[in-house]
Structure 1
Amino acid sequence: MKLVVRVKLLPTPVQAAALEATLHTCNEAATWAAEVAFEENARRPLELRKHAYAEIRFRWGLGAQAAQHAIKKTCDAYTTLRANLRNGRYGRPGSRRHTRASGKPVVFRPEAAQPYDDRMLSWQHQAHTVSIWSTAGRLKGVAFTGQDGQLEVLAAHRRGESDLVCQGGKWFLIATCDIDEAALNAHPVGFLGVDLGIVNIATTSDGERHCGRRINRKREQDRNLWSKLQKKNTKSAKRRAKKYAGKEARRNKDINHKISKRIVAEAERTGRGIALEILTGIRERARLRKPQRATLHSLPFAQLGAFIAYKAKRAGVPVVYVDPAYTSQECSKCHHTARGNRPAQGVFACRVCGFVEHADHNASHNIAHRGWYVWVCGARSTAPELTLIA
């Protein structure tokens, strides 16, 4: 099982300047390689290496490994772009957005992440330092820090490459770790259904609701503040906007970690699996008024589902995904399905058997039932192969 651990670097001013120059040089070389790949239609590492490797080493003075990584990063970027175009991320073929995305070379930001392998980066876990390659030479004794649990996982299970990232003037190393999976519970006694929503972020079939009203109000306040700062457009407003950049994403991530931890712990304690909804394409299916669209699009449902999945995988809890169609309109007792069963947003009242329940709680029961049927039919637990835990 692959997880990702992020540790914070604490470089001196001289080391930070060298790392910044390294990122700028590597990304400038990768942008040039992307232009060559676009012109020569060489989108695979071996093909692009013939056109760009020698020039990158000569013009930008990069080492052999850094030049190889710049070429590989370029090819990975085109692979991602091709997948996004195929999946409709940039609209339909022939549309303006689709044409603009596919009709020009990929461009890398000056501070985009740069991959490092074990030849370019070595870890001294006891001293909490790293030795890292840069265009100014090898930087030794660069300090790093992180939570104790994360550092233990890093020291015991790190495998493969690490990415150097600069975010908001702070430096991070993102390392991939390969952790042994816990033995899967192949005979769960049932399934814990989880219904995801806007008013209640997550509602379980045990009746636990993680309310999102206060969080949504805070999101609305942040959006209003951001809008005012953009309209003001002064130096002080820009400084304040930069200070708040990414605050909502960090808050959402913290909340999703806490919710997923509680859900997985409850399923593990009771010997059950977890049933989640398939939410692919929710933004295209949802029909909301314009003021509600920003709220829906800012909710990281996929992130919460990924956190639940990888935490469940570590605990040996099976996870299945079910079709969410009509779970909010189906009665969990008699299974009568009708739009009239939802007289209000938070109320479910069956018109056949008279069963009354909170709408999200009723939907979570239906998800749990469907999860059991999916498991009986031979489904297997699935979880992402790579998930950020720090």
Structure 2
Amino acid sequence: MSTFTRSSTSTSTGSTSDGKNGTMNGTTTEATRRPRLSGMTWLVWRQHRAAFWTILAATALSVAWIVYQRGQLVDFLDGYGYPGKSLDEAGGKFQQYNDAFSFVSMGLQAIPILLGVFLGAPLIAGDLENGTAKLVAAQSMSRTRWLATKLALAGLVVVVSTGVLSAVFGWWWNPVKSEVTVMDWMSGEAFNNTGPVPVALTLFSVFGGVAIGVVLRRTLMAMVVTFGFTVAVQVVWSYSIVSLGNAVTITTNKGVMGENGSPSLPRGAYEIDYSFVTGSGDLVGFGTCSGSQTDAARQACLDKADVVGWSVEYLPMSQMSGMQWFGASILFALTAVVVAFLFFWGRKRLV
């Protein structure tokens, strides 16, 4: 009896204290354990790990390069004396920084297209084409969970990569944000690469590509169609940006020539339209009387047309953030519709 008791005590003590250093080793083992993917999450990550790691690695390299470029830009601005001195006077000295902005912004604008084609389109279309989807449907895991895991992991990678790139690119651009000569804030290279817009555009493009792949069930065909879809999204979006803001109008009534020339706008304002205002309040084109050869002849022409002032419509730069969130909310809503369609379609036809 005493022998059994001692053995049990020894065994129990050994399992918890491991002799002299047992407690420390046991605690260390527990402390060094790290969470690992398991089950369906592990399976989906392993299946697409090449694409996921490529995206994350490319993001890390891009961030490092942008951080370096930002340091170079700040050093130049400090040495040049900005904002005390206008960048218009810098001439070719600032051209390399403009070129860097153009190069990076072009690459960032291509991300929704690239990820839509190479991540979204094959994500499920490949499984439907090679029969993996049927194998999944035969297992204990439901098709809904399989689809949800695929979309969640792909969406997480997209949000992390585009969100980080958006934040770092905006941080790089911020010191010269008000300079139209660097990047006009209403242009795609600025508006589409900062704030929530790149995240929303890329998510919609990727999940749109997934939906195309689910319907077509052929990887190559889905990639081709997704390319056309993502390009069309970019084109439609670029024409819709202006409509996201609330235009401000300035009108004058003291003539349009000499000291009464075009009214000044706030710094960084985006001009939408210039028109002349007549005495009756009507608007006439900016080119009215432009063919007159002398100022006197032009003034006579303007008097005949009863032009009394300017009407200038513009968007202030202060609206940029609100416009981006409004546009992104529309894209997020469209993405939610696509996801709902995927689950509706997947419940019966995703085999």
Q: If the length of structure 2 is used for normalisation, what is the TM-score?
A: 0.24
From the CA coordinates, give the structure whose radius of gyration is larger: 2
Higher helix proportion: 2
